[in-house]
Amino acid sequence: MSTGIRLPSGVRDFLPRAAARRRALAQRVEEVFAAWGYQRVITPYFEVSDVLERGLGAAARAAAIRFVEPGSGQIVALRPDITPQIARLVATRMTDVPGPIRLCYEGAVTRFAGEAGQREILQAGIELVGAPDRDADAEVLAVAWAALSALGLPDARLDVGHVGFARFVLESSLNRDQLAAAIAKKDRAGVRAAIRDDHELAPFAEALVTLWGPAEPTLARARQLAWPLGMTEALDDLGETIEAFRGKVGSRVDVTVDLGDLRGFDYYTGIKFAGHASGAPDAILRGGRYDELIGKYGRDVHAVGFAIDIEAAAEAQRAAGVPPPRAAFGVAVDHPDIAHVLRTAGLRAVVQAGADPAWLRGAGLDAAIVGDQLIFADDSRPTSTATKAAIEAARAGDTKALIALLQAT
């Protein structure tokens, strides 16, 4: 890069192959969302800061990048999350629309992540609003699984939890911060140290660092503890939601449970979940139930949803050796009428005379028609007699043979 020409830390350019992979991933999950009846909305890239922050948790508020909008003098914030925007939209622009409301979105969010962290993240997700029951949770889990499956990643799995267990333990503790840190690291010794003077809480707190693994046996172990009534109901709800989810996807999907996962416990109000796949260092999908959020914007309604990190999915694809999407065959041709007919047939065509293999590779094209020759970007194949005849026929106005030949190449 030339001296003095640089990007801000935490943002990057995507060249054609990388951009094509991310665009294809977004399109795949958007097709899944549409198939399940979710309608796309588009929200602004930045909003008035105090309005946006109504719907942000503490971590997201700290990550928001704010600035003074020159035209109005208002303090605005680049969105670190799209879900609060959906909440605002539903509460203020869709007041006459009864639930359940199914919405989806795709776009970039920006977060302050220090000098070395990624600030700009591509997201796609859904929100199911006005559906408070277990069937809604199961539906959103099913859409999440369908989206994960559409990404073509190996060893994809869903990890499901419920905020109630961590909330019960932490709100009952006298050493909340110390205990939370120990549970987050699954540090049994640290948990014991944090609750050494609270013998009634001890069995529940210690259990949270071990209650993770395959769904059925993990829930069975959890049921052996004498949880208060609300937690036993949460266990039943979690088990029945997982079974309802499997019924919606029509297969025996492997699901893991982690009752000690603290991420988002101060934001979600019930079930929460994450999607994982080989090649991704962390979850590529996160979501859950957030029944209190939309009420902050004036409409008291239940909601559940999730977001996919498109960048994380792209990196997981690369790590797993999944190739980028292949575009339609692309050709450079010196005749605009032929180029027009090729485009109409679904091929890519550029009007360019005298294209050579090096230029073709840089342009992302597969071949060029030069005279009666078909020159390939890999410079490895001679032009056959049949190809020459198809080119000559196209120059005379009959492109059928050339189109068939290029589509089959």
Of the pLDDT bands very low, low, confident and very high (cuts 50, 70, 90), residue 279 is confident
Percent of the chain with pLDDT over 70: 98
Q: Are residues 346 and 390 in the same domain?
A: yes
Rounded average pLDDT over 223-251: 90
Report H helices in 103-187: 134-150, 163-171, 176-184
Q: Which domain range does residue 296 map to?
A: 16-156+277-319
The verdict on residue 307 lying in a domain is yes
Q: In what order do the strands lie in the sheet with 330-333?
A: 348-351, 330-333, 367-370, 373-376
The residue out of 265, 294, 319 marking a domain boundary is 319
Q: What is the average pLDDT score of the chain?
A: 89
Q: Please say whether the beta carbons of 293 and 84 come within 8 A.
A: yes
Chain-centroid distance, C-alpha 88: 21
Q: Are residues 22 and 134 in the same domain?
A: yes
Of the pLDDT bands very low, low, confident and very high (cuts 50, 70, 90), residue 288 is very high
Give the pLDDT of residue 11. Answer: 81
Q: How far apart are CA 347 and CA 328, in angstroms?
A: 6
End-to-end CA gap in the chain? 37
The verdict on residue 291 lying in a domain is yes
Q: Please say whether the beta carbons of 325 and 20 come within 8 A.
A: yes
Q: How far apart are CA 155 and CA 375, in angstroms?
A: 41
Give the pLDDT of residue 12. Answer: 85
Residue whose structure tokens are 């989810």: 245
Of the pLDDT bands very low, low, confident and very high (cuts 50, 70, 90), residue 113 is low
Rounded average pLDDT over 348-355: 88
Residue whose structure tokens are 């979690």: 238
Task: Supply 43's token pair.
Answer: 């929200």
The verdict on residue 1 lying in a domain is no
Rounded average pLDDT over 86-115: 89
Q: Are residues 30 and 148 in the same domain?
A: yes
Domain count, the chain: 2
Give the pLDDT of residue 218. Answer: 94
Of the pLDDT bands very low, low, confident and very high (cuts 50, 70, 90), residue 114 is low
Give the pLDDT of residue 40. Answer: 97
CATH number of 81's domain: 3.30.930.10
How many helices (H) and strands (E) would you count in the chain? 16, 16
Q: How far apart are CA 162 and CA 123, in angstroms?
A: 23
| Long-range CB contacts for residues 321-328, cutoff 8 Å, separation at least 24 | 322/152, 322/153, 324/17, 324/18, 324/20, 324/21, 324/24, 325/20, 325/21, 325/24, 327/20, 327/364
Q: Are residues 112 and 51 in the same domain?
A: yes
Least confident segment among 20-34, 149-163, 196-210: 196-210
Q: Are residues 340 and 368 in the same domain?
A: yes
Rounded average pLDDT over 268-275: 93
Rounded average pLDDT over 301-307: 95
At residue 292, φ and ψ (nearest 5 deg) are -100, -10
Q: How far apart are CA 168 and CA 139, in angstroms?
A: 27
pLDDT per residue as tens digits for the range 37-77: 999 999 999 999 999 988 887 778 888 889 898 988 899 99
Give the pLDDT of residue 118. Answer: 62
> Peptide bond before 84: cis, by omega within 30 degrees of 0?
no
Q: How far apart are CA 255 and CA 208, in angstroms?
A: 18
Give the pLDDT of residue 101. Answer: 96
DSSP state of 107: E
